[in-house]
Amino acid sequence: MKWTAVAVLLLVGCTAAPVATPSPAPTSTPTATPAPTLHLIGTLNPAVTQATIRSTICVPHWTDKIRPSLPTRKGYWYDHLMPLELGGAPRDPANLAYIPIARARADDVWETRLNRRVCAGTITLAEAQQWITRIKLEPRDRVRRTGG
């Protein structure tokens, strides 16, 4: 009798067919939302474009030829907001600011990484300029967590 009751309970549970609920028809075709474009920090060197990277920023030590001698202050470097390695203007005052040395050194790592990716063809110059703008505008702790 016990086994019969258990078998009946199991069979009853198995007889119910799954109920399919129809999904609503889509109201429109989904489209990709373009990533917002940031206003770039600093200013750009008009000689550096995607078409000229092989003769400018991708040439080893090219920035040494255009980098001006810049003043320093105790604990600060006068540095380029848009780095020369990513097409920043070398002498435009709007592209220069005093940056704490520790921050400038950390930014240098990002600038080099992005320059290498541009020269390898994995990202465009414009994408690298957007990335460095985000990196320099983000709080430092957030950049460390989300950086590539």
Structure tokens at 130: 């957007």
> Whole-model pTM?
0.69
The pLDDT assigned to 86 comes to 98
The pLDDT assigned to 22 comes to 43
Percent of the chain past pLDDT 70, that is, above it, reads: 68
pLDDT at 36 over 50: yes
Q: What mean pLDDT is predicted for residues 36-54?
A: 91
pLDDT at 29 over 80: no
30: pLDDT confidence band, cut at 50, 70 and 90?
A: very low
Give the count of beta carbons closer than 10 Å to the beta carbon of residue 49: 13
The pLDDT assigned to 140 comes to 55
Phi, psi of 77 (to 5 degrees): -115, 140
Domain that holds residue 81: 38-146
Residue 16 lies in a domain: no
pLDDT 10s digits, 97-120: 999 999 999 999 999 999 999 999
CB neighbours of 47 closer than 8 A, spacing ≥ 6?
A: 56
Residue 15 lies in a domain: no
Residue 93 lies in a domain: yes
From CA 127, how far away is CA 141, in angstroms rounded? 22
**Rounded to 5 degrees, what angle do the CA atoms 90, 76, 72 make?**
60
The pLDDT assigned to 71 comes to 87
Listing DSSP states for 46-95 in one string gives: TT--GGGGGGTTTSTTHHHHHPPP--EETTEEEEESS-GGGTB-SS-GGG
Number of compact structural domains in the chain: 1
The 3-state DSSP class for residue 137 equals helix
* 25 against 69, higher pLDDT: 69
Residue 48 lies in a domain: yes
Residue 31 lies in a domain: no
Residue 76 lies in a domain: yes
Residue 5 lies in a domain: no
Phi, psi of 128 (to 5 degrees): -65, -40
* 37 against 41, higher pLDDT: 41
pLDDT at 3 over 90: no
Residue 70 lies in a domain: yes
From CA 80, how far away is CA 28, in angstroms rounded? 46
